Amino acid sequence: MPAFFLTDDKASQEEFLACIRDTAKAIAESCAQPAPDSGAGGQAFFPAYCGPEPAELRAQLAAIPVFPAEGKGFQAVLENIRTHVLPNLVRTASPGYLAHLHSPVLLESVAAELVIAAFNPSMDSWDQSPAATEIEVLVIRELCRLFGFGGTADGVFTSGGSQSNLTGILLARDAFCTQKLKFDVKKHGLPENSARFRMYASEVSHFSMEKSAHLLGLGYGAVRKVPADGRRKMDAGALRRMIREDLAQGNLPFCVAATAGTTDYGSIDPLDDVAEICAEYGLWMHTDAAYGSGLILSGAYRNRLRGIERADSVTVDFHKMFLQPISCSAVLLRDGSQFSPLELHADYLNREEDEEDGYINLVGKSMQTTRRFDALKVWASFQVRGKDGWDAILASCVENAAYVYERLQAAPDSFETIAPPEISSVVFRVRPKPGSVCSGEADTDRMNKSIRRTLLHKKGIITGQTTDNGRVFLKFTLLNPAITRNDLDRLLACILALRDGWQP
Ligand SMILES: *Cc1c(COP(=O)(O)O)cnc(C)c1O
């Protein structure tokens, strides 16, 4: 019978070490798999994926009984992981992994995950997480400083940008009800006129805006989509007009959710203009910086977030530009006292008498109860890399995107682009080979889709795909600071080679 837990018992400690050592070895060795031909000349890429297509993978995994009658022991399961799981996961650290805001993970943060898993602290109350609670408080304080917030700011780690957005919009709704309507949502639920509540987000904002409106009982109809300009940034003039229109119709604007780094384009809404408008109409300013928050670590590019310090709430995702394992995110408030709607005391958990004596129970700022010690990963990687290390990481990603854009612009016969990147994503459409039989936009759509599928299954390269004005575009999301210009040249060459060989 294998040991259950890691304890003060020497045998359990040895078993723990063996289990971790064998697992770590299997993981490291799995990254040495041979790569499929990159087709772009020179040395093959460290591939992002070389597993089978969906049906084959499904059949392979379905052959393993999930819950056998008799336990097989750890080594047998590790063998299954080695054979069937590890080879069939994507390598986020591959230079050919470019599809999503899904980052490679820093080594120190993987080590921190081991500490988190081994001790399993839970952030709801101090007596479940003494050092963990104190570290989260310190990391949050440092983040508030980085974002230019004053001494009354506060924040909390969350499960992701979606939950951070939901938290920000929930607090906006509750502050509006309390302050403007003198109505306590916490006690009474939504007021009768809640169908008139309106929030504003750009037409290219994240879908968690609508999801939040639904979850908060306001419905999708409460989210007014503000047009974006040619650079996919919110049109501030249109925002002002829409607020006026709503006020004239008797609707109740309560929040503007600006985006600092849209999911597709990385475009940043005009934060200062939005802050001005929010101040003028007394609206809560939420800033969804799930993607763009990383820029705050860059000396050269942090000014692109100018105005973010005027937001009432900010979403920061660490499992994107901050290169942390999932999950790792936070929501920050310029005025920490605005967390009060989330506070609720339970005799079995967060007694007020303890808090009066200096025990911090972070559950009072969170939607979650049991919660992970994700702050450790940020704490570790901030110290390992330092401000200079992080500055270089961010510069590399931003400058790689600028380089790709420049290369695409230099080949207008081969590529169509949309806007110069503000962060690290580049959206582009491959044009048919000059003189080819491929004619019309629908054929070009099919060609772009086909290039993406071929890259995935034949080249071990995973690019993004989206649509813009109804047409199919490909996307590079550059979160890996180790990608070189040479890698980028090879990726583009590989795409052009597939384009040249494509038959409608
Ligand atoms: C990724 C993203 C989110 C959602 O964050 P999750 O961590 O995936 O929940 C929200 N907004 C924007 C702009 C994003 O890019």
Mean pLDDT of the residues in the chain: 95
Phi-psi region of 41 (alpha: psi -120 to 50; beta: other; left: phi over 0): left
Does 329 sit in the ligand 1 pocket, CB within 6 Å?
yes
In a domain, 76, yes or no: no
CA distances from 113 to 34, 121, 328 (A): 28, 11, 11
Residues 197 and 257 in one domain: yes
Tokens of 241: 């007009």
Atom of ligand 1 nearest to the CA of 163: 9
Centre of ligand 1 to C-alpha 225, Å, is: 17
Rounded CA Rg of the chain: 25
Helix (H) or strand (E) holding 430: strand 425-430
- Whose alpha carbon is nearest atom 15 of ligand 1? 263
Q: Is 17 helix (H, G, I), strand (E, B) or coil?
A: helix
User: What pLDDT is stored for residue 43 in this prediction?
Assistant: 58
Residue 33 pLDDT > 70: no
Residues 397 and 351 in one domain: no
Residues 96 and 202 in one domain: no
What CATH number is associated with residue 491?
3.90.1150.170
pTM of the model: 0.96
Residues 315 and 390 in one domain: no
What CATH number is associated with residue 232?
3.40.640.10
Does 291 sit in the ligand 1 pocket, CB within 6 Å?
yes
Q: What tens digit of pLDDT does each residue of 351-383 get?
A: 888 888 999 999 999 999 999 999 999 999 999
Residues 356 and 403 in one domain: no
Q: What tens digit of pLDDT does each residue of 120-161 get?
A: 999 999 999 999 999 999 999 999 999 999 999 999 999 999
Does 425 sit in the ligand 1 pocket, CB within 6 Å?
no
Residues 116 and 256 in one domain: no
Residue 164 pLDDT > 50: yes
User: What pLDDT is stored for residue 34 in this prediction?
Assistant: 64
Q: What tens digit of pLDDT does each residue of 52-75 get?
A: 999 999 999 999 999 999 999 999
Residues 147 and 183 in one domain: yes
Given a contact cutoff of 8 angstroms between Cβ atoms, the answer to whether 16 and 6 are in contact is yes
User: What is the tally of structural domains in the chain?
Assistant: 2
Q: How far apart are CA 61 and CA 288, in angstroms?
A: 38
Q: What tens digit of pLDDT does each residue of 266-298 get?
A: 999 999 999 999 999 999 999 999 999 999 999
In a domain, 5, yes or no: no
Does 259 sit in the ligand 1 pocket, CB within 6 Å?
yes
Q: Is 328 helix (H, G, I), strand (E, B) or coil?
A: coil
Does 162 sit in the ligand 1 pocket, CB within 6 Å?
yes
Residues 115 and 126 in one domain: no
Residue with tokens 């004619």: 439
Does 266 sit in the ligand 1 pocket, CB within 6 Å?
no
Residue 438 pLDDT > 80: no
In a domain, 6, yes or no: no
Give the domain extent around 320. 122-372
Centre of ligand 1 to C-alpha 101, Å, is: 8
Given a contact cutoff of 8 angstroms between Cβ atoms, the answer to whether 323 and 479 are in contact is yes
In a domain, 294, yes or no: yes
Residues 110 and 132 in one domain: no
Does 161 sit in the ligand 1 pocket, CB within 6 Å?
yes
Peptide bond into 327 cis (omega under 30): yes
Does 136 sit in the ligand 1 pocket, CB within 6 Å?
no
Residue 439 pLDDT > 80: no
Q: Is 185 helix (H, G, I), strand (E, B) or coil?
A: helix
| Best mutation site among 203, 313, 317, 475 for ligand 1 pocket (most ligand atoms within 8 Å of CB) | 317
319 closest CA partner among 152, 145, 118, 164: 164
Partner residues linked to 428 by β-bridges: 417, 474
Q: What is the mean pLDDT of residues 450-455?
A: 97
- Whose alpha carbon is nearest atom 10 of ligand 1? 161
User: What pLDDT is stored for residue 436 in this prediction?
Assistant: 83
Banded pLDDT at 51 (limits 50, 70, 90): very high
Centre of ligand 1 to C-alpha 207, Å, is: 9
| Best mutation site among 206, 223, 234, 367 for ligand 1 pocket (most ligand atoms within 8 Å of CB) | 206
Residues 363 and 408 in one domain: no
Residues 227 and 293 in one domain: yes
Tokens of 388: 């200079």
| Best mutation site among 101, 164, 367, 372 for ligand 1 pocket (most ligand atoms within 8 Å of CB) | 101
Domain boundary (372, 400, 417) is at 372
User: What pLDDT is stored for residue 354 in this prediction?
Assistant: 86
Q: What is the mean pLDDT of residues 319-334?
A: 98
Atom of ligand 1 nearest to the CA of 261: 13
